[in-house]
Structures are given as C-alpha cells and as structure tokens.
Amino acid sequence: MMDHPFDQAMTLGVVGDPAEGRFEGLPSEYYWNMVGPYGGITAATVVKALMQHPQRLGEPIALTVNYAAALSLKPFTLTARPARTNRSTQHWTMEMTQHDDQGQPSVVLTATAVTAARRSTWRQIDHPMPTVPPPEQVEVARRAKGVAWLDRYEMRGIDGGLPAVWDGSGEHSRSLLWMRDTPARALDFLSLTSFADLFIPRVWVRRANRVPVGTVSMTVYFHVGPAELSAAGSDYVLGQAQAQAFHDGFFDQQGQIWSRAGHLLVTTHQIVYYKE
C-alpha cells in the first residue's frame, strides 16, 4: 500500500548524527501551489522534523514559521536545534535552506517552536464552535483550478468562499468551512499545522478582488493532546478565519479549528503580503 500523499510529502532523511537535527527533503509536487509548495505543507514539514528529533521533549504547543522565499522543486536542508530545554518546556529554532543559482545555501524559511510535557489541568473553551450544518449537508466548495494541492483537500464551504465574480463586491472577511484530507487521514500535529494555512486569502474574500498575495509569517497554537486527536479521528474539522486589519501591503488573519464535537484544536494567526 502506498503511503498517503501527505505522509509522502513529509518524508525527511536524517543527515549525519541524528542528535544534530539536520534533515533533507524534497518539496512535494502533490502539494504544489502556483509558485512553490502549499505553505501549510512546508509548515507541517517543520513540525515533522521536530517530531523526528531524538532530543524532543513533549508535544508541540506553539509554532511560528516565517516564509522568507518560495521553495523551488529541489532538495532542501532543514535544521532543528533545541535552543533551551527546561524541566517541562523546550524552545526550538529551525531554519530551512535551498541552494541558490550559484550553488550557495540560501535561507527560505525560519521558524521557532515550543514543545512541552503537558499536565492535566482545569480546561475551558472560550471560543465555542459556531452553529453550522454538518459537513454531509454542505456542498464541496468551488475552488481555483490548475494547482495540485487543492486536490489533496476536501473543503465544504459554509461562508466566505471563493467569490463567484471578481467585481469588488466583498462585504466581510470571514470564511467558515469543513475541511478534511483527501483521502481521509487520522488527525495529528502535522495535519493540524497544514490545516492552519488552508483558508483562501482574506483580501480575496473581503474585496472580491484577486490581488497578488503571499503569507509572510504564520503562528499555530495547539490545544490538544493524544486523547483529543484520537477522538477527532479522521473526521472533518471546522475552520474559521477572519482578518482584522488591512494596512499598506499587509493584512492579518486569525483562525480557529474545531473538531466536530466542538473541541477547539488549534488557534492560528498569520500576516500576509498583498499588492494594491
């Protein structure tokens, strides 16, 4: 049996001593976007390196990835270094490079992460899941054509989908949709990371104007452990995203991802370049 395309895309080879946290990989054509791979896949690859690192303590709590340049379809090197290890938390610094046209390593991504050994405590969800119809009653969303990565996901849009006409008629910047891997795949920290970047650009929704965009930095906070992941299984998750400010070339996006049962699995934020 072939691995799931997502797991194929996550394949990393260890370079040298595993304790040095040096990995090699190749961007996946299955998740290719217009220029470079889908950003959510690149972010998930960073988490994959963490999960493979022999010195990792606990599970991912926070991740920030900075997209410094579009990746090319050639090998990359990814280094992950535990900058500080405390009793129950660990701080990570990551960097991804590819060779430039002169054969020199060039930084294409920087990242930081926090992992931690969680303890059971008081719990509370203060951003409850909106009331929505179940995924089975929502149609598969219209989507852009000609990019591979969109075939890797099933998206059932409730609000704020791809505008039917690009006529500048947008009224708000909120999107709400059910999402799932195609084919379905059990949720883990890697797929949750990739889902965090799954929303179409807020500026397209807000303006119904397809201006050029590119995510510059994304942060993901995880509010799950193995029990919540196991309970969510390979079911649909509900994603919501909204912008707060568009200002002189950069807008923000805040997002939430809930399990069908209403557990808030992930909160996420990103800042995105836009032209015009």
Binding residues vs a copy of itself (CB under 8 A): 61-62, 64, 66, 68-69, 83-84, 86, 89, 91, 93, 95, 106-108, 110-112, 114, 116, 118-127, 172-173, 206-207, 216-217, 219, 221, 223-225, 242-250, 252, 254, 256, 264, 267, 269, 271, 273-276
Q: Which is nearer to a copy of itself, 69 or 132 (CB)?
A: 69
* Closest CB to a copy of itself among residues 198, 203: 203
> Which residue, 5 or 161, has its beta carbon nearer to a copy of itself?
161
Measured from the CB atom, the residue of 11 and 112 that comes closer to a copy of itself is 112
The dihedral through the CA atoms of 185, 191, 192, 198 has a sign that is negative
Which of 164, 177, 45 lies closest to 111, judged by CA? 45
Least distance (Å) from a copy of itself to the CB of residue 276? 6
Rounded to a whole number of angstroms, the minimum distance from the CB of residue 139 to a copy of itself is 26
Cα separation, 36 vs 71, in Å, equals 5
CB nearer to a copy of itself: give 127 or 142: 127
Q: Would you say 142 or 172 has its CB closer to a copy of itself?
A: 172
The burial of 92, by beta-carbon neighbours within 10 Å (0-12 exposed, 13-18 middle, 19 or more buried), is given as buried
Give φ, ψ of 161 to 5 degrees: -85, -175
The torsion defined by the Cα of 82, 68, 196 and 38, in degrees rounded to 10, comes to -120
Q: Which of 208, 211, 205 is nearest to 169 (CA)?
A: 208
Half-sphere exposure of 221 (CA within 13 A, CB side): 8
Closest distance of CB 3 from a copy of itself, Å? 30
Q: How far is the CB of 265 from a copy of itself (least distance, A)?
A: 9
Q: Find out whether the peptide bond into 82 is cis, omega within 30 degrees of 0.
A: no
Do residues 50 and 41 touch, judged by C-beta distance below 8 A?
no
Closer of 13 and 105 to a copy of itself (Cβ): 105
Q: Quote the least distance from Cβ 30 to a copy of itself, whole Å.
A: 26
Question: How far is the C-alpha of 221 from the C-alpha of 243, rounded, in Å?
Answer: 18
- Chain centroid to CA 210: how far? 22
**Nearest distance in Å: CB 209, a copy of itself:** 8
Nearest distance, CB of residue 83 and a copy of itself, angstroms:
5
